[in-house]
Amino acid sequence: MWDLIIQRFVDGVMAFPALILALTIVTLMGKGFTVGGAQANVVLSIAIVLIPVTTRVVRGSALSVKENVYVDAARSLGASDMRIMSRHVLPNVAHVIIILGATYLGAAILLESTLSFLHQGTAIGQPSWGNMLATSRTTLESHQQLLWSPTIAVSLAILAFNLLGDALRDVWDPRLRNT
C-alpha cells in the first residue's frame, strides 16, 4: 500500500516540468534562509525536482534484484527482510544510486543556474553562474566576453558530470562487465 501511495506522489511530481516545479517551489517558499551559504529554498526545490526520478529508477532496480534466486534462497533460509535488504538488495542497487547522483549533479547545476538567471535562485551579488549570466546580459553589446565565461563553465561542468556518470555506469553496471 505504501509503495502505491509513494509512486502516485512521485507520478504527480514528475507530471510537472522540472523548471516550472522548481520555480513554483522557490516562489512559494519566498527568499527562505541560508544554510552554509546556500539558500535552502533553492536546494530544496532542486531536491524535490530530482528525487522522484531517482525514486522511480531505484525502485525498479530493487524490484528486479528482489526477483533473483539468491534473494529467494536467503528468504528460505530464514533471513529477515532487513538482512535481505542490507546484504542482497542494497549492494546490487548502490551503483544505480551513485551513477544517478553523479549524473544529477549536472542537472542540479543547470537548474540552479537557470533559477539564478531568472533572479529566483541565489541572491544577486552571490557567486553563481546564473547571476553572472544575468549580469552579463545587460552589457551584452559592449562586453560579449562576460557572457562566454559562465556559459562555458556551466557547459563544461554539466559535460564533466555526465561523463563521470557514464564512466561510473561502464565500471559498475553488472550487465556491461562482460562486454
The answer to whether residue 116 scores a pLDDT higher than 70 is: yes
The answer to whether residue 85 scores a pLDDT higher than 80 is: yes
Q: What pLDDT does residue 143 have?
A: 79
Q: What pLDDT does residue 139 have?
A: 81
**Residues 129-134, mean pLDDT to the nearest whole number:** 88
Which residues are registered as beta bridge partners of 38? 35
In the chain, the largest separation of any two C-alpha atoms, in whole Å, equals 74
Write the DSSP symbol of residue 174: G
**Residues 29-36, mean pLDDT to the nearest whole number:** 69
Q: What pLDDT does residue 175 have?
A: 66
Count CA atoms closer than 13 A to 154's CA, side-chain side: 21
Tens-place pLDDT, residues 140-175: 778 788 888 889 999 999 999 999 988 888 887 766
Place of cell 542494497: 90
* CATH number (domain holding residue 129): 1.10.3720.10
**Residues 60-87, mean pLDDT to the nearest whole number:** 89
Computed over every residue of the chain, the mean pLDDT equals 86
The answer to whether residue 110 scores a pLDDT higher than 90 is: yes
Phi and psi torsions of 79, nearest 5° = -70, 140
Q: What pLDDT does residue 159 have?
A: 95
Which residues are registered as beta bridge partners of 34? 39
Residue span of the structural domain in which 96 resides: 2-176
Phi and psi torsions of 34, nearest 5° = -100, 145
**Residues 124-131, mean pLDDT to the nearest whole number:** 84
Report the number of distinct structural domains present in the chain: 1
